[in-house]
């Protein structure tokens, strides 16, 4: 069956470090993959989209990689700040959008 | 600069009552979506509308109906609410079916 897994429910890091979040999938052949940020009590906010023929995408302190052989995407936040604390969701677009359960990132000062 | 507007923000229902959740977007997007999000979980697609005049089932459509009233509005109806439908409901829209989605801030629905 089709499955999306995001690494551990919670990730705690120190301010200034790089946060790395993982999104693994099975039995999908997504045309592209998206990352969203969700703050408590709010709807998700789109961050980045990466297509299957792209290896890497960057936006300011954010970087996403997409390895269709490993069936994995990595989401990096460099020089992390307490304001980066949120839940991050990956979403596959193989027809209908399918979201992972999210990883809650806490950046401690 | 409203984006996606959902009403109401909170609602409490009794089992068996009916309810329509409203969603409107002002970005001239073609595609609209309804999701539910249970505690500690991701979003599960209930129904979506790829374009005005079309609707299709998502992952968890049972117990729900939708209406794409016009390009701006996409409503979700619970005909006979059940406690298992207690959740946070999010509406989203996108320019096209496979493009980034813009979300509303959700409707928090409790069914007793």
Q: What is the distance in angstroms between the Cα of B22 and the nearest Cα belonging to chain A?
A: 15
pLDDT value, residue A11: 92
Residue range B70-88: average pLDDT? 96
A2 — pLDDT class (breaks 50, 70, 90): confident
What is the number of alpha carbons within 13 Å of residue B94 lying toward its C-beta?
A: 16
Which DSSP string do the residues of B45-87 spell out, in sequence order?
Answer: EEEEESSTT--EE-S--TTEEEEE-SSSBEEEEESS--GGG-E
Which of A41, A97, A98 faces B101 most closely, judged by CB atoms?
A: A97
pLDDT value, residue A85: 98
Mean per-residue pLDDT over chain B, rounded:
94
CB atoms closer than 10 angstroms to residue A66: 22
What is the number of alpha carbons within 13 Å of residue A3 lying toward its C-beta?
A: 5
pLDDT value, residue B1: 61
Q: What is the distance in angstroms between the Cα of B45 and the nearest Cα belonging to chain A?
A: 7
Residues of A in contact with B59 (CB under 8 A): 96, 98
pLDDT value, residue A7: 81
Enumerate residues 6+ apart whose C-beta is below 8 A from B107: B6, B7, B8, B9, B10, B11, B21, B88, B89
Enumerate residues 6+ apart whose C-beta is below 8 A from B95: B27, B29, B30, B31
Which of A42, A49, A102 faces B100 most closely, judged by CB atoms?
A: A49
Give pLDDT tens digits for B30-69: 999 999 999 877 899 999 999 998 999 999 999 999 999 8
Task: Please tell me the distance from the alpha carbon of residue B75 to that of residue A62, in angstroms, as a whole number.
Answer: 35
Residue range B15-28: average pLDDT? 97
């Amino acid at each position: 069956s089709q499955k999306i897994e995001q690494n551990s429910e919670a990730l705690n890091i120190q301010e200034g470090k790089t946060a790395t979040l993982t999104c693994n999938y099975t039995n999908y052949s997504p045309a592209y993959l998206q990352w969203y940020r969700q703050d408590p009590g709010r709807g998700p906010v789109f961050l980045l989209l990466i297509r299957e023929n792209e290896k890497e995408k960057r936006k300011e302190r954010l970087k996403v990689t997409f390895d269709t052989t490993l069936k994995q995407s990595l989401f990096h936040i460099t020089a992390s700040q307490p304001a980066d604390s949120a839940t991050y969701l990956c979403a596959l677009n193989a027809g209908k959008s399918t979201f992972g359960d999210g990883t809650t990132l806490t950046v401690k000062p | 600069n409203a984006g996606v507007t959902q009403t109401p923000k909170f609602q409490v229902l009794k089992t068996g009552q009916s309810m329509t959740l409203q969603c409107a977007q002002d970005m001239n997007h073609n595609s609209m979506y309804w999701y539910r999000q249970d505690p500690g979980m991701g979003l599960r697609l209930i129904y979506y509308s790829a374009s005005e005049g079309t609707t299709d089932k998502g992952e968890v459509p049972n117990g729900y109906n939708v209406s794409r009233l016009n390009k701006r509005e996409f409503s979700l109806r619970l005909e006979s609410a059940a406690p298992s439908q207690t959740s946070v409901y999010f509406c989203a829209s996108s320019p096209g079916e496979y493009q980034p989605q813009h979300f509303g801030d959700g409707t928090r629905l409790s069914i007793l």
